[in-house]
Chains A and B, each alone.
Chain A
Amino acid sequence: MSAEPQPGALNDDAVIFFDGWSSRKRRVELRFGAMLEIVQNGATLASWPYDDIRRIEAPGFALRRETAAAGELARLELHDPRLHNEIIARCGFLGGRVRPGANRALLYWSLAATASVVGLVWFGIPFAADRIAPLVPPAFERRLGEAAEAQLRAIFSAEPCHAENGAGALAQLSARLQSRAALEQPARIEILRSSVPNALALPGGKIYVFSGLLTRAETPDEVAGVVAHEIGHLRHRDAMRKLIATGGTSYLIGLLFGDVTGAGALVFASKALIGAAYSREAEAQADAFAAELMARLGRPAKPLGDLLTRVAGKENGAFGLLHDHPLTADRLAALAAADKSERGPPLLDDENWAALKTICEKVDVKPEAAR
């Protein structure tokens, strides 16, 4: 074939050969015959077919032979650029016999995997949560709720209000609302002393109304609307569903993404968005339930919207509340549309309403406390 490169012009270390069976470093010459012959002192150490020769992904110019017959780790290092060209000219598959589309296929499969994971987080897990939540036994749900309760009180460092008159009014309101709510397990409603205007329902039937919300309410119907809304959450077992959905997502993330440094971030971010979307739907359902419950009691649904508007208007900053109660025009419109107006007696008379408003006032209960 072509002329051998002039050996005299080459450095002693121009070609190094490791046979893959020992660590001996051999200084060899190359002969470009029908195959690439690796020659030391006139003896051929190995013959490599040109099509089997691959270049190693490393600095420098090192070659290996594709088949293990040569010793899997047999290496040929060329330290003279002139030899590189000889090799490149003869070996057609230095980069391997990879099908041209192989890398693209890898990319597509990866993107498909991403889409599948995001799809699972977005649709699969909420779907599963909807199916699993009704199967959770109430006793277990109540225990979960108790655990959450302790945490909640610690976070807000808040305690329930028990002023005697107010407690009576609260019990009356609770009984009126629950008489038409058809709950499987009775709800226990408490007022928590906290300036945060919020209300939430825990798994197991506990509803907390924060006193901050109570002080801003102007009519009993507004408070009743909020409680009815939370009863709606209990009825739909939203807390349990959310717990299962969050737990499932965490499980998936923890399992798939060993490192939080890069990969998990995507899912965490999309989870935050999904969490918001998911709860929006749950809020709308709870609103619908509240409106229906109020209508059954012959009371209007619109005051709930009024209270939310009032609270939202005074709200400073985005993260004042922990619970998700996104107030949208859609929500207000839906509440207004579902309003069946006033047809029945008020849920609380003026005296009881005044008592409920003062349920958290310590100053007034001083004489009682001394008892």
Chain B
Amino acid sequence: MSDVLLAAEVSAADKPTPILFTGDNGEFRRLVTRGALLELVTAGFYRFWLATHMRRYLWSSTVIGGDALEYVGTARELLFGFFFALVILAPVYIAYLVVGLEAERAKAFASLPLGLFFAAFGQFAIYRARRYRLNRSSWRGLRFGMSGSGLGYMLRALGWGALIAVTLGLALPWAEAALERYKMRNTYYGALEGDFVGRGGDFFKRAGWIWFTALILLLSPYVIGAVFRGPIWILAGVIYVFGAPSLFAAFKAEQWRWWLRGLRLGGVRLETNLTMTALLGNYFVFLGVTIGVLIAAAIVFGIVVAMNRNAMVGTTPPIGVLIPIGLAYVATFLSIGVALRIFLMQRVWKLVASSVVVHGLAEAEDVATRASVAPSAIGEGFADSLDVVGF
């Protein structure tokens, strides 16, 4: 931490404190690139270490009032959490396979309850994952925490999910408000109790137009196709390519703003000047990188096939073709994975974190730890780390 940051520290009670993001882009890029290669040679088991390193980077780069967040979780915990989840999921996968095969003809009906089970389990995992991460986050030597029940959250999320489905997504703002209230009212930082004051109606007022625009966007090709004929379809494609990320960025920006402004921790609250254009720029860079990688892969594929045109007898390509194509395939996946982690994780975090100012931070100056909380949370339960299962 540099002296500049300490100088930025503000002790005046009502003066808002900006959150600073001090992380180096190159450092994160190296971290995830190296991590992707290690994941490859360790059959994926490095991902627990990679996740921990990434969180440590993100947390320690986020400086609030002169002091950075600290991530105190370990990769070993994630690994045990994964084993725990495996015990639950292995038989479920088998059951899925058997039921899916048995009811081959009525597959749509057979997979419905199974899909529901996964959706419910996913909600449970989301809650427990957040609890785990909060519990492993500390600031100024004091950890955050979360109580409440993952099962209770799961039931609420299922109910709201049904309502969202029935209303074709219109109930989403109220669902998010209710679920976030449940999460935040169980959140604490020492003696500071969390709350969420964002209201579904406000979110709807700000983001409702996105729902309608998305609907129009979704229907536009059909309308265009019904009215006109011919290459007008290209226009529809263009509308999609630019319209979909723009709408997504607009939605995420509204969602972030509404969420951040609704958060409360005692008297501490957040204000943000996050813009849609900042997010959109980031998404377009990601889109560009992904398309570039895919084009490069297609070129490699084409060259390999063209070079071995004469060697291909029969139906199975020779090993000399399979190996370079396999390598190109692996490289494509790794590059897109790295880009995903950089642009959809680190850059978004950076944009959001540096857009935030904290009000009432003085209240967090001298918070005592909770008597009820054991300082060591290692025995929290391995299920806490269900977040790595891939939901």
Contact = CB atoms under 8 A, between A and B. Distances in A.
Interface of A: 11, 13, 18-25, 56-60, 68, 71-75, 77, 79, 107, 110-111, 113-114, 117-118, 143-144, 147, 198, 247, 251, 254-270, 272-273, 276, 279-280, 308, 312, 315, 317-328
Contacts of B108: none
17 contacts: A18-B142, A21-B141, A21-B142, A22-B369, A23-B190, A75-B70, A79-B1, A113-B42, A147-B105, A254-B93, A256-B44, A263-B47, A265-B330, A265-B334, A312-B314, A326-B316, A328-B314
B366 A20 contact: no
Contacts of B104: 143-144, 147
B152 interface: no
Contacts of B143: 73
Contacts of A272: 322, 326
A280 B375 CA distance: 60
Given A262-B36, A262-B40, A262-B47, A60 B1 contact: yes
B60 A273 contact: no
Contacts of B14: none
A77 B6 CA distance: 12
A262 B50 CA distance: 12
Interface core residue of B60, B61, B308 (most chain A CB under 10 Å)? B60
A147 to B, nearest CB: 5
B190 to A, nearest CB: 6
Contacts of B72: 72-73
B22 interface: yes
Contact of A262 (B309, B319, B322, B334): B334
A292 B277 CA distance: 72
A113 B334 CA distance: 20
Contact count band on B: 35 or more
B315 A257 contact: no
A262 B369 contact: no
A124 to B, nearest CB: 14
B390 to A, nearest CB: 3
Nearest to A257: B44
Nearest to A247: B97
Contacts of B189: 23
A18 B340 contact: no
Interface string B92-133: 011001000100110000000000000000000000000000
Contacts of B319: 273
A324 B43 contact: no
Contacts of A147: 104-105
